[in-house]
Structure 1
Amino acid sequence: MTSIPLTRGQFLLPFVSILDEIGAPTEALLGKSRLPSSLAEKSELYLPLLPALRFVETAQRTQGIEEFGYMAAQRLHYSHMREKTRALIAHAPTLFVALRHACYWASREDTILSMWIEHDVDHVRVCSTLSGTGGMLHLKYAQWIQNIFPIHIVRQFAGPDWMPTAIGFESAYSPGPETRSHWPNVRFHSNQPAAWVSLPDTLLSLSNPAAASFVPSRSQEGDGPSDYDIVETLKLMLPAYLEEGTIALADVADIAGLSPRTLQRKLAHLGLTYSDILETARYETASRLLRDTDCRIIDVAFSSGYTDPAHFSRAFRRISGTTPRQFRERSRLL
C-alpha cells in the first residue's frame, strides 16, 4: 500500500486565518486543493500533506502574500503541539531529554517528519526534514513551521525571549528584511541539507520549569487526567528512597495504592515508563547536589541512587549532554 504523507490540520489553521482576515476566498482555495472547508472543526485530524502545501502555494501566489510561511509560523504556539508530546516535554528533566522526546515523536505531528540532534563543537543543531519532498518549490512554506517548534521547546527552558544563534532552511528561501528585523543577531542559511535551529550546547542541561505550568486537557474521560498527577506524585516521593537503592516498580505501585500493571498503564498513557520517572528523580537530586553543595561526585552518585560512579556519569551525560564535573563547573559560572 502506498504511504500518503499526512500533517495535522492544526498547522493549516494559521494560513487559513490570515486568508480570512484579508477577505480571500479561503473555502474555494481549500476546495481547489481537495481539502475540507471546515478546518477549524478538524484541526486535530490528519490531512494529506502535499495538497496542503499546494493550497498554501496557490494562496500565496493568487493573493500576493509576502512571507506567508513566516507569518503563519508566528501564529503557531507551543500549545499547538500534541498534548502527549507536550506532556513528555513537561516531565523531561532537561532540555536535552525534551528535544530527544520531540525528535522521537516528530512523526506524530507530520507522518513524514524526521527530527534529530547534531553536535557541532560547542553548539548543537535541531534538524528536521520532510521525507520525499526534497526539491519541491513550495517546501519553503513548511520550513518556518518545522523550525518554530524546536524554538518553542527551547523557550520552555531558556525563557520566552530566547533566540537561536542561527536558523537553516532546506529550501532556497531567504527571509526578507522585515522578517530579519524580528530576529536580531540570528544568522540565516539557505539550501541546507535540512531545516535546523542552532543553540549553544550549554543549554542542553537546563532544568525543566515547565511541569508545574503544564495543564492537561480536561476533555479526556476516565483516568486520563490522573495520569499526570501520578507522575508528579512519584517525582515528589522517589527522592526519599534514592539513597536506599533503586526502589522496585512493585514497591512504588504498592505505596501509591495501585497494581504494578495499572501504574505502568498510567505512565504509558503519557508515553513514559517507570524508568523515565526514576531517572528524572535521580537527575534532579544529582543536579541539585552538584550545583548547591561541595559534595564529592562519588557521594553525589551514591545519594542519587547509583552504586557505580561510572554508571552515574554515563546516565547524567545521557540526560544533560554534559558530565557531572562539567555541569558543576558551568553552573558556578552563572
Structure 2
Amino acid sequence: MPKQQYNRPIGLIKTAQVKKFIEMLQMIEADIYLIIEKVGLPDKVLNTHHPYIPEIPVRLLLSEIVEACGLVSYQKICWLACRQLFIPAMLEKISEAKNLQQLLEEFIEIIKNESTQVELSIEKNVDKTWLVRRKKWSDEPWYLYAELFSTAYLIELIRALTDKNWLPEELAIQSSDVGAFTQLILCDNPNIRLIKVYRDRGGCAISIPQDLFNAPFKHHYGWIKPTREKDAPTDFVGSLIVALPPYLNEGKLAITKAASIIGMSVRTFQRRLDELGTNYTSVLEEVQLQEAKYYLQHSDITITTIGVQLGYSDLSHFSRAFKRLSGETPSHYRLTNQCKERTSKIKLMS
C-alpha cells in the first residue's frame, strides 16, 4: 500500500450531527443509553465538548434505529428528522448565499467538515444538473440506511429553499434496492408522483432543473452570520487525535478499543501507525495531553481526578507524564492559563 493510502484520515462526523441521529431514537422511544453503549458511542456523547465522533459507531446506530422500528418507519423518521433537525441547523451555517446555486456551493464546502468521508458536487450531464453525493460503497445494511437518509436530506434541502412539495424528476442511487427508495418517496406522500430511479450508480444524486438554481434564498429574521469553523484533519494521525478524546473519560483507552472505534483490526491499526513513523503509545499520550490541558484550563476538577479520568494510575504518574510532554507541571499550567483566561475576559468586558 502506498504511503499516502496509510495516511488517509478515518471517518469523522460532527458531534452536533451525531446528537441529531440520537434524537431520532427519541422519535421511536428507544432506550437511548442502551443503544449508545451497544454501538460504541462515547458514554457522554450527549454533553461532550469534543467536535467530532468516529463514523463507525454512527453506522451501527443507523442499523439499530432500523432494527428498533422497521424500515418503513425509519423512512418516515428520515423525512421528519431532516425537516425538524438537520436542515434548519444546516441553514444556520450558510453565510453568503443569495440563491440556490450559491447555497449549494457553500453547502458542499460545509459538508467537508460535517462528515469527512462524504463528497458532494454539482455536476452537469448532457442537459441535466445533478447534486451528487459520493461515499465509499459497502454491501452492509448500514449503507442502504445511510443512502436513504441522504436522499431525504438532499431533497429536503432543496424544498426548504423552493417548494415544500418539490421532488426531483430523476434519482440515481449506489444501492440496488430501487423499491426501498420508491417507498421512501411514497411514505412521505402516498399521492405524490413517482420519480425515475437509476440503481447501481457511482453516487447518490438528484436532478435539479436549471431554472431552480436562481431561486432566491433569504436568511431568517435575527440571523447572525456564523464564524468559519476549523477544518477537519486530512491525515490519519490528525484524525485519530480528534476521534479518540471523547472516549478518554472511560479510563485508559486500550489499543483494542481504539482499533474497534475506527473499524480496524489491531494489526492493521499498528501497521498504519508504523508506516507513518509513530505508534499507539505516542498518539495516546498526545491525546491525553490535549485533554489534560483542556480540563486544567477550563474546569475546577482536581488534578488527581483529571489524571485518573485520562487513564493514569496515580497523581505522580500523571504529573511526570504531563511535565515530560509539555515542559511544565499540571499545577503550573493550570495557574498560568487560568490567569490568562481571566485576563482575556476582563479585557473583553472593559
TM-score normalised per structure 1: 0.55
Partner of 1:167: 171
Partner of 1:203: 212
CA distance in 2, matches of 1:15, 1:128: 19
Per-residue CA shift, 1:117-150, capped at 9, x if unaligned?
12134431100022x3444431112113323443
Partner of 1:120: 125
Partner of 1:46: 52
Change (3 A) 1:82 1:122: same
8 Å Cα contact 2:12-2:117 kept in structure 1: yes
Partner of 2:134: 129
Partner of 1:191: 200
Establish whether residue 103 from structure 1 lines up as the match of residue 108 from structure 2.
yes
The structural deviation recorded for 1:31 is 0.8
CA distance in 2, matches of 1:206, 1:178: 26
What does 1:139-288 align with in structure 2 at a 5 Å threshold? 139-173=143-177, 174-175=180-181, 177=183, 179-183=185-189, 184-187=192-195, 188-208=197-217, 210-211=218-219, 213=221, 215-216=223-224, 228=225, 269-270=227-228
Change (3 A) 1:43 1:16: farther
8 Å Cα contact 1:10-1:43 kept in structure 2: no
Change (3 A) 1:145 1:58: closer
Per-residue CA shift, 1:160-201, capped at 9, x if unaligned?
332222333222342364741525224133322111111111
CA distance in 2, matches of 1:214, 1:148: 28
The structural deviation recorded for 1:55 is 2.2
CA distance in 1, matches of 2:183, 2:163: 25
Per-residue CA shift, 1:289-323, capped at 9, x if unaligned?
xxxxxxxxxxxxxxxxxxxxxxxxxxxxxxxxxxx
Change (3 A) 1:68 1:10: farther
8 Å Cα contact 1:163-1:186 kept in structure 2: no
Change (3 A) 1:50 1:200: same
CA RMSD of aligned residues (A): 3.1
Change (3 A) 1:82 1:34: farther
Partner of 1:92: 97
| Greater relative contact order (Cα < 8 A, sep 6+) | 2
CA distance in 1, matches of 2:220, 2:38: 45
Change (3 A) 1:100 1:179: closer
Equivalent residue letter for 1:46: Y
Partner of 2:259: none
Number of residue-to-residue matches in the alignment: 215
8 Å Cα contact 2:101-2:214 kept in structure 1: yes
CA distance in 2, matches of 1:194, 1:31: 32
What secondary structure sits across from 2:13 in the alignment? strand
| Sequence identity (%) | 16
CA distance in 1, matches of 2:59, 2:170: 25
CA distance in 1, matches of 2:200, 2:67: 22
The structural deviation recorded for 1:28 is 1.7
Equivalent residue letter for 1:155: R
CA distance in 2, matches of 1:57, 1:135: 13
What secondary structure sits across from 1:119 in the alignment? strand
Change (3 A) 1:190 1:56: same
What secondary structure sits across from 2:181 in the alignment? coil
What secondary structure sits across from 2:30 in the alignment? coil
Change (3 A) 1:204 1:138: same
Change (3 A) 1:106 1:14: closer
8 Å Cα contact 2:39-2:61 kept in structure 1: yes
Change (3 A) 1:165 1:73: same
What secondary structure sits across from 2:72 in the alignment? coil
Equivalent residue letter for 2:56: L
Give 5+ residue unaligned stretches, structure 1. 217-227, 229-266, 272-334
CA distance in 2, matches of 1:177, 1:60: 15
Partner of 2:12: 6
